[in-house]
Amino acid sequence: MIKPKISIAIPASIISDTPHLREKTAKIGLIARAAAIFRINQIILYPDNPKQDQHKDLQLIALLLNYLETPQYLRKTLYKIDPDLQYAGILPPLRTPNHPLSGKTKHLKIGEYREGIILNELKDGLEIDIGVQQPALLRQKQFLIGQRVTIQVIRMGNQVEVQPVDRNEVPLYWGYTVNIEKRSIGQMMSTNEFDLKIATARIAGHFLEVTAKIKSRWTNSNNVLIAFGAPTRGLHEIAEDQRLKLDNLADFTVNTIPNQGTATVRSEEAIIATLAIFNVHFN
């Protein structure tokens, strides 16, 4: 059975309740870890307050998420000194399959997948950094210097040779991608981009009441969207701002933390709890 591609949608104001960059960075680190642990394929960042310019928040969240998803050996090349990354040292490592620990050429195996970055053009191909002691040779020349490429090792010896692959064809969980959405959550959920759209909200039916129905849809879906609200406003309120009803946008609106023992549940906590429950029931 082919597993569906799973996307989560989180709002720009998810960091609005954390005023300091250090706390914002830590929160995004938790969300990235949750996405990686539960094999999320795409993180969609959407604007949720039309009365505010949320461009800066969207860019910050995307920067931190993309930085975390990038293998450590490529970060110095792909990311220059940026004040928004000054607390990147507190970010937790993802330890996904595309973040190999070994940097030794002798530990490479034929058939292994890695991420690389194009360094130079050679007579017989391109020189590519794949995170080991010596650059590898990529014989195809259709890539630009500085471009990130997913590769597979095809030959070992004095010269390591690799070939490009589509990251969607890698038979392992290969991390998430990040997409900044210009449309509102209502506009996005009104399209046919997703076979199954699930909204999470405190004011909603108990998850267990619709688990069987969700599972039936889940197993027949190619693209699943799980949407989350903001720290101070849930998805119901966000949808109402657009004169829409959440229940008309989502196939299911569920409460995944019923009978909560706290006055509020933080956004990152809701994401972790929801993805854990969905992982048990649907994956």
Nearest residue to 105 (alpha-carbon basis) of 174, 54, 158: 158
> Residue written as tokens 């267990």?
208
Taking 60 as the threshold, does the pLDDT of residue 20 lie above it?
A: yes
Taking 90 as the threshold, does the pLDDT of residue 51 lie above it?
A: no
Sorting pLDDT into bands at 50, 70 and 90, what band is 2? low
- The answer to whether the beta carbons of residues 272 and 27 sit under 8 Å apart is no
Give me the pLDDT at residue 72, please: 96
Determine the Cα–Cα distance for residues 180 and 88; give it in Å rounded to an integer.
21
Sorting pLDDT into bands at 50, 70 and 90, what band is 264? confident
Percent of the chain, pLDDT > 70? 99
Cβ count near 209 (within 10 Å): 13
CA separation (Å) from 73 to 99, 100, 148, 204? 9, 9, 12, 44
Residues of the chain with CATH 2.40.50.140: 105-165
Give me the pLDDT at residue 283, please: 82
pTM for the predicted model, two decimal places: 0.95
> Where does residue 88 rank: exposed (0-12), middle (13-18), buried (19+ CB within 10 A)?
middle
Give me the pLDDT at residue 263, please: 87
Judge: domain 105-165, CATH 2.40.50.140.
yes
- The answer to whether the beta carbons of residues 225 and 197 sit under 8 Å apart is yes
Sorting pLDDT into bands at 50, 70 and 90, what band is 3? confident
CA separation (Å) from 10 to 79, 112, 137, 271? 24, 33, 39, 9
Check residues 242 and 151 and name the one with the higher pLDDT.
151
Sorting pLDDT into bands at 50, 70 and 90, what band is 40? very high
Fold of 5-95+176-282: Alpha/beta knot (3.40.1280)
Average pLDDT over residues 202-229: 94
Taking 60 as the threshold, does the pLDDT of residue 112 lie above it?
A: yes
- The model's pLDDT over 177-201, given as tens digits with 9 standing for 90+, comes to 999 999 999 999 999 999 999 999 9
Residues of the chain with CATH 3.40.1280.10: 5-95+176-282
Sorting pLDDT into bands at 50, 70 and 90, what band is 78? very high
Give me the pLDDT at residue 50, please: 85
Average pLDDT over residues 16-35: 96
Average pLDDT over residues 233-243: 93
Quickly list H helices, the chain. Answer: 21-37, 55-69, 72-78, 185-189, 211-218, 235-241, 246-249, 267-282
